[in-house]
Structure 1
Amino acid sequence: MKEFKKILFPLDLSATSPRLVPYVLTMKEKFDAELHLLFVARDFADLKSIYVPHPSIHKFEDEVVAGGKKKLEEFREDYFETVKDVTLAVLPGDPSQKILEYIRSEGIDCVVIGTHGRRGLEKVFFGSVAERVIGRAEVPVLVVNPYHAA
């Protein structure tokens, strides 16, 4: 059986993120793996094209990253307080791109990711981070629909 030494749990810190925790913990415990929690703060580069001043965008992005770090630390305390070998990371940028870069740069062996189950126009407009990660990741990806998770 394949051994997973490093497991990545990319999360959006939404209300559905806690529903994925049991799956993440099961994988971590089964393989006695390091756990990486990653939050990607979307960048706002596209706002530059509508004449929003660059310093305002950068300041806002910095605040989003700082807020993401605080929320990720709180999430760890709430759901992984007694878990050892947990690494936290917050990166600005496109979520699927940054997740894929993190997988490569950190030598991740497996990803546990949630999907919002978007359909129709919502999927056309917002796309699916999970779908892009599944399609491009070079490691196994466990996808959990939080609305159907026990």
Structure 2
Amino acid sequence: MKKMNPIKTVVTPIDFSDNAGTVVESAAYVAGTFGAALHVIFVVQNFEDYSGFFVPQMNVPNIEHELFTGAEEQMTAFCREHNGYFEKAGVSIIESKVLVGDVSEKIVEYASEKKSDLIIMGTHGYKGVERIMFGSVADKVVKTAKCPVMTINPYTCCE
């Protein structure tokens, strides 16, 4: 039987939904338990994916820049808000990053670049139109990641 690699790096994608706090706290607990570095990432969906849709006249580069800048500000606030939990869980190395592109592809690419030993992500984030348009990000990550993926159902965990 093949042994699993030690868990030294955990990547956790978030989406700033109401469930993100539960997911990142679960990831912090796991990272702290193993003494692993925790990478919290958010991916801004790029507008190239809308090329088949009718998009009214707008300045796409400006909108993407504004979304990226807004996401960076949200990430800073999110990590600051959860800093006490990171400390309590014993996570000493925390990196946060905002990326742009296809959400599932960027998650898998980032985890691969960081030689992640584990991806921990939620099974539910935003719902409705976003889910219909983009499909299940968690499903795509589970199927394509080169490391194990732990999914957290925020509606059933941590009660």
Please tell me the TM-score bracket, short chain as reference: 0.7 to 0.9
Alpha-carbon contact 1:117-1:145 (below 8 Å) kept: no
Alpha-carbon contact 1:35-1:85 (below 8 Å) kept: yes
For each residue in 1:87-143, what CA deviation from the matched residue of structure 2 results, as whole angstroms up to 9, or x when unmatched?
Answer: 111011110010011011111110100011899x98654410000000111111110
Identity of matched residues, %: 31
Counterpart selection for 2:27 from 24, 28, 31: 24
Root-mean-square deviation over aligned CA pairs = 2.5
1:97 match? 105
Alpha-carbon contact 2:5-2:117 (below 8 Å) kept: no
Q: What is the alpha-carbon distance in structure 2 between the residues aligned to residue 108 and residue 43 of structure 1?
A: 24
TM-score (norm 1): 0.87
2:149 match? 141
Q: Once the 2 structures are TM-superposed, how far is the Cα of residue 148 of structure 1 from its aligned partner? A: 1.4
Alpha-carbon contact 1:116-1:146 (below 8 Å) kept: yes
The secondary structure found in structure 2 opposite 1:59 is helix
Q: Which runs of 5+ in 1 are unaligned?
A: none
Counterpart selection for 1:132 from 101, 122, 140: 140
Code of the residue aligned with 1:141 in structure 2: it is: V
TM-score (norm 2): 0.82
Code of the residue aligned with 1:104 in structure 2: it is: S
CA change 1:8–1:46 in 2 (3 A) is closer
Asked if residue 11 in structure 1 is aligned to residue 14 in structure 2, the reply is: yes
Q: What is the alpha-carbon distance in structure 1 between the residues aligned to residue 94 and residue 61 of structure 2?
A: 29
Q: What is the alpha-carbon distance in structure 1 between the residues aligned to residue 64 and residue 126 of structure 2?
A: 26
Q: What is the alpha-carbon distance in structure 1 between the residues aligned to residue 133 and residue 67 of structure 2?
A: 22
CA change 1:41–1:125 in 2 (3 A) is closer
Code of the residue aligned with 2:102 in structure 1: it is: D
**Aligned positions, number:** 148
1:84 match? 92
The secondary structure found in structure 1 opposite 2:71 is helix
The secondary structure found in structure 1 opposite 2:41 is strand
